[in-house]
Amino acid sequence: MSSTPSQPHPSLGVLPNMTHLINGLSTASSRASSEASLQRVKNLPGYTTPVFKGKEEQRAKVQADVAAKGFIPRELVANEVNWFYSQLGIDDTYFQNESPSVISDHIIALFGAKVLAYTKHDLNKLVIDLEKIDEKGNGATFIHTSLPGLTSTEGPGATCESRIDSLYLDNSTPSNCYRLETFRSTGSISATASQQLRCYFITKCNFPSPPPPSTRTDGLTDIRTVSDTAFLEKASPHTLEVYQKIMWQVESRYGPVMEVFEVEGTRERRLVIGYKMGGTSRFFSALSNLYHFYQLYSARKYVEQFSNGITIISLYLNPMPNSTGAPIEHSIFQVMKEASLLYCLPDNPFFLDSVNSGHAVQEATYAYCGWVFAQHFCNRLGPAYLHLKNILDDSNPLHAEVLNDIKRRFREETFTRESIAQVIHAHAEIIHLLYVNFAMVHYPAADEASQLGPTLSYQRLQTTQPLSDSELYDKIRRTVLNKQDLQVLESFLIFNKHILKTNFYQPTKVALSFRLAPEFLPEIEYPNKPFGMFIIIGNEFRGFHIRFRDVARGGIRIVMSRNKENYSINQRMLFDENYGLAATQSLKNKDIPEGGAKGTILPSLGAPPRRCFEKYVDAVIDLLIPGQTPGIKERLVDLYGKPELLFFGPDEGTADMMDWAALHARDRGAETWWKSFTTGKSAELLGGIPHDTYGMTSLSIRQYVLGIYKQLGLREKDITKVQTGGPDGDLGSNEILLSSDKTIAIIDGSGVLADSAGINREELIRLAKHRLTVAHFDKTKLSKDGYLVKVEEQDVKLPSGEIVLDGTDFRNGAHFRFRADLFVPCGGRPEAVNISNVAALTDTEGKPHFKYIVEGANLFFTQQARLHLEKRKVVLFKDSSANKGGVTSSSLEVLAGLALTTQEYLDLMIFKDAKPSDFYQKYVKEIQEKISENAAAEFHCIWREHARLQGAKPRTQISDELSMRLNNLQAELELSDLFDDVPSRRGVMRRAIPTTLVDQVGLDALLERLPETYQRALFSSWVASHYIYKYGVNSSSVDFFHFARDLAR
């Protein structure tokens, strides 16, 4: 059983189908759900058993050493040493690896444990715990008593494997990794006690340098060139063959690869699992809990790690004598199926408690997902908050602050992660019924029809009488008397009822994803209902994706946490932050086909952000591409029933990950949309259109600045300006390069540069072209009143005589100290100016520091701060209007990806010899023209409306109303039959699609290639924006009639 495709080669050639390449090695397919997947192997050891030739000589030394230490009576020494060497059945690996001194200590420890057990009059209490950890990090040995088929809850066995995970396996890298051999002793620990010993031998991998030459001529990895020397000495030819095949599959896929082998003439099954290092954690110990649940025990286990970054685990599993569980012939496939869930969530508290709860992995994983859902959606605000909201005026900044504070407290104090977990643990039977309710809908029917017959998980479902939603709700209500417990369990039912599709039952996956219908979101808190939402749950992260229209686009943001407290806050607010960002994106995306969307990823503390992003993307793709490969990616139960397209863009923490996501989508089979799946791709390698290189966002900001100059009859060279965001950034550098004003201050991450005489323009241009911070400014080019204060400096004396005590504090508040005609924030933290500090932007007489503000940076001002400044006659244009150039550019990047075939895309959009094609250059130029055209049109629309109302309504409010009017009209047009009028449709498409693309591909071909949902969105957005911009927000039905009449021209 194999998984999703992995990172492709740098060239864009399609990866070969690895399954076909390895068919010669095995006659069995990868199907894990049928008898056909069973591969038979001879009853031979997978590893050669080492024979330690110096064993007898060592035994004599050990016996003398034990006798000399004097802890064991001399007459018993020979018997104890003989038992240890001959009766316990310890592998020769141990004796070969350990010194006589260590072995003698272990024999004495074993004897001491027997004496202690004897004093307790219960030989079953005999506990052995021997360990030796090499101080230099070369490995370790662990030996302890172990009952087969049981997960220890106390004693050394309870923590041994989890320690091995954390010390030696979880943080493996190709340059620092370990191999593990573990086996159960064949003999009992004494004549009177039945326990056996479990031995673990961990050794640091030794990869020869240089590696041996490959014997392969097909370009595939030769396992012998990446193997540890000890592994090559011990592994049988058949083991090498099996591991080689697994390795090729792991290299070509993203998630785990699993195979089962039947050992001829026995009931033993060997489960082999391969995955990339770092793909999961605590997995080795979690697997033991899994097979113990099915009353299996392991005779031997191996973990092999390879220098190409691949880990392979091999488990030799046998049924427990007198087992009451399902026969191993069936249960092994359930172990295999559930191992894929464990790979996603190995550290699941609801499975670790399976002794008490009885939850199988599937039930426990469902409980974990419901736990996460409840954490985000149990803490709703309720009628008390609604009553308060109706009394207070949330347009009043002070009232809004009170409401926000109350909302935060409601969220923090009602339900905690711990209290929700306690409810789940306390109501195991209800959780089981809720799982059955979920599974009866989403369990794939294909499993029933497999040759094996219904799987164990399906059989388990049949043993429980499924209840209807209303019956289940009634049972929960009657069973659970505590109101808060009831609310938690009700949230599970809400979760079930709103899942449209999930990868929960996919044979292989790296994280769990659920497409939810958003109808359960309360209108009081989320007044604008999203079109669709996804929740993604991984071992080291959780995430959401929200979109407000079917065709929607927005960035994927990684929310990093500084510490545990910060992580808890981020966790509570993650969905609300995601919702707010997507809603804001909707306002900005008003005149492009894609509506607003946003994704957020919250990594656990210490988790690698890139790995979280990759798992998030792969899990989302599981729900976008119908599964086609039995045992790998199979068809899901899809209650949504329509194809979906998501478009991702770069955001905080993900700017350098867009190439990987696009190539991974292609590798997963998204041939028609991989080119448009992400924006912000690298220009040379993947034909992306970088905003900063071509000044896309700055072009729209510039139109607003120039619009103000033109409307008020101002000369740019006379205008004084303050700018946040320095010459090292996208917006800051392009604002410098495009402008010719008198800039008196620039504030960036490195410090504050100011000169009341005007900062030297030539020196600023030099910094902007080299993308350097203001800290690199040549101070000899400052006037006598100019200064540069760097964040790391202290006690700096300014020309005025003022002493700056701390450079960082000075920088953080610098935007409040300067006065100028124009303020253009091109960088800075969100809500840098808010209702509590906006008064600092006015003098003691209430006169604003700035006459004109064009908000380039996202959310630099809060809404209340904007309104406060506009009341004081500041001409202010907010971010969602001013900086929309970037989203326009990304939208047209998406259009090129959808419109061009893969070959056309490779020829026209990807650079050749580091140079763009003529088509690319023309297309970029046309995008720039469209950005300027759209920005100028919106500017004039807002200016006209403000003038018509004689300033009675602030421009900020007009901008928001314009966005909402555009979005509403676009939504109405998408549902109307105007699109079905072919002449109108063709007329709009000819104007909406850049001429460069129409000339290259042809309008007819474009209309065939573009998905209909996208065409409707493109048609509607063009009509809505051009109509509103022309006739204004107060246009009439007659105006629209005249406008629509000309669409076909």
User: Mind telling me the catalytic residues?
Assistant: 598
Please state, in angstroms and rounded to a whole number, the distance separating the CA atoms of residues 834 and 850: 16
Q: Within a 13 Å sphere around the CA of 396, how many CA atoms are in the beta-carbon half?
A: 9
Instruction: Give yes or no for a contact between 726 and 774, defined as CB atoms under 8 angstroms apart.
Output: yes
d(CA 988, CA 1018): 9
Please state the separation of Cα 722 from the chain's center in Å.
38
Amino acid at 947: A
- Distance between CA atoms of 674 and 404, rounded to whole angstroms? 41
In which residue are the tokens 């030769």 written? 222
Integer Cα distance of 573 and 408 in angstroms? 9
Q: In the chain, what is the straight-line distance between the N-terminal and C-terminal CA atoms, in Å? A: 57
Buried b vs exposed e over 881-918: b needs ≥16 C-beta within 10 Å?
bbbbbbbbbbbbbbbbbbbbeeeebeebbbeeeeebee
Instruction: For residue 210, say if its preceding peptide bond is cis, omega within 30 degrees of 0.
Output: yes
CA–CA separation, 737 vs 692, rounded Å? 12
Q: At what angle do helices 74-82 and 55-69 cross, to 10 degrees?
A: 150
Q: Which H or E run contains 368?
A: helix 361-377
How many CB atoms are located within 10 Å of the residue 416 CB? 14
Nearby residues of 328 by Cβ (< 8 Å), 6 or more positions away: 267, 269, 296, 317, 318, 319
Of 262, 524, 310, the closest CA to residue 406 belongs to 524
Q: How many CA atoms lie within 13 A of 137 on its CB side?
A: 8
Burial of 834 (0-12, 13-18, 19+ CB in 10 A): middle
In this structure, are residues 633 and 255 in contact, taking their beta carbons and an 8 Å threshold?
no
DSSP 218: S
Label the pairing between strands 532-537 and 541-547: antiparallel
Inter-CA distances, 553 with 71, 216, 583, 674, 993, Å: 74, 45, 12, 14, 18
Backbone angles phi, psi at 663, to 5 degrees: -65, -35
Buried b (16+ CB within 10 A) or exposed e, 594-609: bbbbbbbbbbeeebeb
User: Helix (H, G, I), strand (E, B), or coil: what is residue 637?
Assistant: coil
What are the distances in angstroms from CA 635 to CA 267, 460, 521?
A: 32, 22, 29
148: left (phi over 0), alpha (psi -120 to 50) or beta: beta
Degrees to nearest 5, angle at CA 12 with 11 and 15: 95
Q: How far apart are CA 889 and CA 752, in angstroms?
A: 31
Listed in sequence order, the residues at least 6 apart from 745 whose beta carbon sits closer than 8 Å to its beta carbon are 722, 723, 752, 753, 754, 755, 759, 814, 818, 820
Q: CA geometry: angle at 76 spanning 72 and 80, to 5°?
A: 85
Helix (H) or strand (E) holding 196: strand 196-204
DSSP class per residue in 945-960: HHHHTTTSS-HHHHHH
The DSSP letter of residue 167 is I
